[in-house]
Structure 1
């Protein structure tokens, strides 16, 4: 497992946190995603054999948020 922190812009409330968490945990290979509205980030634990940083960023951006390493 690898751990990655993504910086996420566009979250404004707890509903956004739930949405981003749902997006990330729905990706095959993601074991855990801790999303913080206060810190504007997500700490993601994932299997690098199944997904990668680019796929995680794309998924969050497809959900309507800005994401970057």
Structure 2
């Protein structure tokens, strides 16, 4: 398992948290996704032979949030 922290702009509430975590959990290869609203990021544990950071970033951006590169 690999682990990464993705900085996300625009998350302010519980709905934001649910949207981002849900989008990531729906991806094959993601085992956990935990949003930290205070730090404006999400910590993701994933199988790096199945999914990469680019696909996770796209899933977050599809929910309407900006990922800081």
Q: Is the 8 A contact 1:57 1:68 kept in 2?
A: no
Unpaired segments of 5 or more residues in structure 2?
Answer: none
- Considering only aligned residues, what root-mean-square deviation do their CA atoms show, in Å? 0.9
**Corresponding residue for 2:50?**
50
* Structure 2 counterpart SS, 1:50: coil
Rounded Cα–Cα distance in structure 2 between residues aligned with 1:63 and 1:51: 18
Could you tell me the TM-score, scaled by structure 2's length? 0.94
Report how many residues are paired.
69
Task: Give how far 1:67 is off.
Answer: 1.2
Runs of 4+ in 1 over 6 A off after TM superposition: none
**Corresponding residue for 1:25?**
25
Q: Is the 8 A contact 1:3 1:43 kept in 2?
A: yes
Rounded Cα–Cα distance in structure 2 between residues aligned with 1:23 and 1:8: 13
Q: Is the 8 A contact 1:17 1:35 kept in 2?
A: yes
Rounded Cα–Cα distance in structure 2 between residues aligned with 1:68 and 1:29: 22
